[in-house]
Amino acid sequence: MAAILVISSISLQAQTSTATKKPAVHKKAPAESPLERQIRELREQMASQQAQIDALKQQNADKDAKLAAAQQSAQDAQTAAANASAKADSLSSNLSANTEAVSNLNSTVTDLKTTNVGLAQTISDTKKTISDELESPLAIHYKGIAITPVAFFAGEMVYRQRALNADVNTPFNSTPYPGAAQANTSELNFSGRQSRIGALFVGNPGPFKLSGYVEADFLGAGASSNDNQSNSYVLRQRQIWAQAALNSGFTVTGGQMWSLVTETKKSTDNRTENLPMTIDAQYQVGFSWERQPGVRFQQKIGGFTGAVSVEQAEIVYSATNANANFFIGNAGAGGGLYNLTANYSNNVAPDVIVKATYDSKFGHYEIGGLSRWFRDRYYPNQTLATPSAAGGTNNTKVGGGFFVNARAPITKFADVGVHVLGGTGVGRYGTSTLPDVTVHPDGTLEPIKNLQGLASVELHPVTKLDLFGYWGEEYAQRTTYLSTIGADAGKLVGYAPITSTNAGCNTETLPTTPTSGLGSIGVAGNPPYSPGTPANCLGATKDLYEATAGFTYRFYNSPKYGRLQYQMQYSYLSRQAWAGVTSATGAATTTYGAPHGTNNMVFTSFRYYIP
Q: pLDDT tens for residues 130-166?
A: 666 666 677 899 999 999 999 999 999 999 999 999 9
- CB 470 within 8 Å of CB 280: no
Going from N- to C-terminal start, the domains of the chain cover 109-137, 139-222+233-609
Residue 456 has pLDDT above 70, yes or no: yes
The upper half-sphere exposure of residue 155, i.e. CA atoms within 13 Å in the direction of its Cβ, equals 5
Confidence at residue 289, expressed as pLDDT on a 0 to 100 scale: 97
591 band by pLDDT with thresholds 50, 70 and 90 = very high
pLDDT given for residue 83 in this prediction: 74
User: Residue range 476-503: average pLDDT?
Assistant: 93
Contact 536, 504 (CB under 8 A): yes
Separation CA 448–CA 496 (nearest Å): 11
| For residue 610, pLDDT beyond 80 | yes
**Res. 13: pLDDT tops 80:** no
Which CATH code of 3.40.50.150, 2.40.160.10, 3.30.420.40, 2.60.40.720 fits the domain covering 139-222+233-609?
2.40.160.10
Instruction: Give Cβ neighbours of residue 432 (< 8 Å, ≥ 6 apart).
Output: 172, 173, 285, 474, 541, 544
More confident residue, 110 or 305: 305
How far apart are alpha carbons 472 and 420 in whole angstroms? 10
- For residue 344, is pLDDT > 60? yes
Gap between the Cα atoms of 157 and 604, Å rounded: 5
Q: Note whether 425 and 389 are within 8 A (CB).
A: no
Least confident range of 8-17, 498-507, 560-569: 8-17
Q: What is the mean pLDDT of the chain?
A: 88
**pLDDT digits 0-9 by tens, 371-429:** 999 999 999 998 888 889 999 999 999 999 999 999 999 999 999 999 999 999 999 99
Q: Rounded to whole angstroms, how far apart are CA atoms 316 and 1?
A: 167
So what's the pLDDT on residue 528? 85
Measured between alpha carbons, how far is 555 from 564 in angstroms, rounded to an integer?
6
Could you tell me the pLDDT band of residue 6, with boundaries at 50, 70 and 90? very low
Residue-level pLDDT at 11: 47
Least-confidence region, from 149-153, 430-434, 455-459, 484-488: 484-488
Banded model confidence at residue 519, pLDDT cuts 50, 70, 90: very low
pLDDT band at 445 (very low <50, low <70, confident <90, very high): very high
Asked whether 402 and 368 are in contact (CB, 8 A), the reply is yes
Are 553 and 465 in contact, with CB atoms under 8 Å apart? yes
pLDDT of residue 29: 54
pLDDT in tens, 202-222: 999 989 999 999 999 999 988
- The pLDDT value given to residue 21: 44
263 in Cβ contact with 407 (< 8 Å):
yes
Q: Beta-carbon neighbour count of residue 368 at 10 Å?
A: 22
In DSSP notation, 243-305 reads EEEETTSEEEEEEEEE-TTS-BSSTT-TT-B-----SSTT--TT-B--EEEEEEEEEEETTEE
Angstrom distances, CA of residue 101 to CA of 94, 116, 184, 506:
10, 21, 96, 102
HEC string of 65-90 equals HHHHHHHHHHHHHHHHHHHHHHHHHH
Give per-residue pLDDT as tens, 225-267.
Answer: 888 877 889 999 999 999 999 999 999 999 999 999 999 999 9
> What is the three-class DSSP state of 213?
strand
Backbone angles phi, psi at 486, to 5 degrees: 50, -135
| pLDDT of amino acid 486 | 76
